[in-house]
Amino acid sequence: MEEEVKKLPIFNGENYSQWEFRIEILLEAKGVKEVIDASKVDEIKKKDGDEKLKKENAIAKSIIVQCVPDKYLEYVRDEVTAKGMLDALAGVFQRKSVVTKLYLKKKLLNMKFKIGSKLEDHFLEFDKIVREIENVSSKKMDDEDKVCHLLLTLPDTFDGIVTAIETMNVDIKLDFVKTRLLEFELKQNSKVNVVVQREEEGQSFYCYGCGQKGHKKFECKKNRGQTEDKRYKNRGYAGRGANAVEETGQVQVSNFCFVACHDMAMNVLNNEDGKTISFLLDSGASDHLISSEWESSMSELKDLEHPINIIVANGARMVSTKKGRLLVSHLNREIYLEGLLVPGLSKNLLSVSQLTRRGLEIIFKKESAVIKSQNNNFRVNKCGKVYQIQFEVMKDVRCTAMKTST
């Protein structure tokens, strides 16, 4: 009996809604919860009322009194029913005035996610405030409003995933949004861990070119200074694509790139019949996705060893069996885009994570985004709720000549 008393939720004057919830669960466990139903109150008050209800009411009152400290007993002393006791306490501690509602609304609107903290903790605090608002309001907040308020609490670093969620055509539920945000947080944390791990691993091997510790031969600045000037003079290529694949050991689709070519190579590049292609910046895609209708404009087409299943924002499932390279131009700068060919894809997607893995920086602003590299900046305009960039599709004459000669 003493242990049961210790486990009772004692009200401390704060968080009345949480305490009331615990009391309701406790009454339900004791089999007397029905006495706090408003429809049972009149029957309990009758002198010749249902004896069973009267006994259950007495048990419920006893439980509530044991959960209320002495300084608050005056609020419930004159109440005949358990329902009356809870209503009396709610009238004092669960304030439903306009001032209280305004305070809670401001608290929700001013709530911001603190960078460095966990999203899970942020969600708990958000749910607590929403529940407090619902307790002092006449109706529940619908999922759409909850989603809007939750997304407003996120900093600019979440703009990519927020844009992806906003552009979905399906009904968005709060639980779904929370799941997507947690997945995004997990991906971001994984990137940081990979960078740290690679930096640590980088100290454990030697360069076969210069003999120094901490980098590999293809990364050696001395080696590149001696070889790349000869092999890639006036071409502007990075000259590391194949080596990067060997170094990472990823055979399938790890080498998709976003690489600007040198202006001096433009004399062998022609616009392919004035064609333009649009891409949407997408934070959910792990690789660039290109509609298969552009297959005829692409080079270095290869069949994937294993088909890759792709789920786009509206939930549709697609399968890619090929990858390839598309040569495009933007503001007189030629760019190689390597990605998966996806039959039936309505919008070409430029993967934010793929760009960042290639060393580019993506900055989202209110009306635009910027893709920054060491030598170039590419502006991406915001169209409605999405970030869209257009390229001219180019034809590499050198590739055509090579195909003709072979």
The string of pLDDT tens digits covering residues 311-325 is 766 667 788 899 999
What integer pLDDT is reported at residue 221 of this predicted model?
A: 62
What integer pLDDT is reported at residue 212 of this predicted model?
A: 66
CATH number of the structural domain 258-405 = 2.40.70.10
Provide DSSP, 294-347.
Answer: GGGG-EEEEEEEEEEEEE-TTS-EEEEEEEEEEEEEETTEEEEEEEEEETT-SS
Q: Give me the chain's average pLDDT, please.
A: 76
> Any long-range contacts for 157-160 (C-beta under 8 Å, 24+ apart)?
157/115, 157/188, 158/113, 158/184, 159/364, 159/369, 160/281, 160/282, 160/283, 160/352, 160/362, 160/364
Question: What is the C-alpha separation between 287 and 290, in angstroms, rounded?
Answer: 10
Q: pLDDT tens digits, residue range 168-195?
A: 767 788 998 999 898 888 877 765 444 4
End-to-end CA distance of the chain: 92
For the segment 12-17, the average pLDDT, to the nearest whole number, is 83
Q: Looking at mean pLDDT, say which of 227-231, 258-262, 336-340, 370-374 comes out highest.
A: 336-340
| Inter-CA distances, 314 with 152, 165, 225, 321, 395, Å | 22, 10, 48, 21, 33
Of the two residues 194 and 117, the one the predictor is more confident about is 117
Total residues found in the chain within this entry: 406
Of the two residues 278 and 97, the one the predictor is more confident about is 278
Of the two residues 264 and 111, the one the predictor is more confident about is 111
The answer on pLDDT for 249 being more than 50 is no
Instruction: Please give the share of the chain, as a percent, with pLDDT higher than 70.
Output: 72
Domain ranges of the chain: 2-93, 98-189, 258-405
What integer pLDDT is reported at residue 26 of this predicted model?
A: 94
What integer pLDDT is reported at residue 213 of this predicted model?
A: 62
The answer on pLDDT for 65 being more than 50 is yes
pTM score of the predicted model:
0.39
For the segment 236-250, the average pLDDT, to the nearest whole number, is 34
Continuous segment of H or E residues that includes residue 277: strand 269-282
What integer pLDDT is reported at residue 406 of this predicted model?
A: 28
Best CA proximity match to 326, nearest among 237, 393, 373: 393
The answer on pLDDT for 28 being more than 90 is yes
Q: pLDDT tens digits, residue range 264-321?
A: 333 334 455 558 888 888 877 788 899 989 888 888 899 988 888 887 666 677 888 9
Question: What is the C-alpha separation between 268 and 81, in angstroms, rounded?
Answer: 90
Instruction: Please give the share of the chain, as a percent, with pLDDT higher than 90.
Output: 21
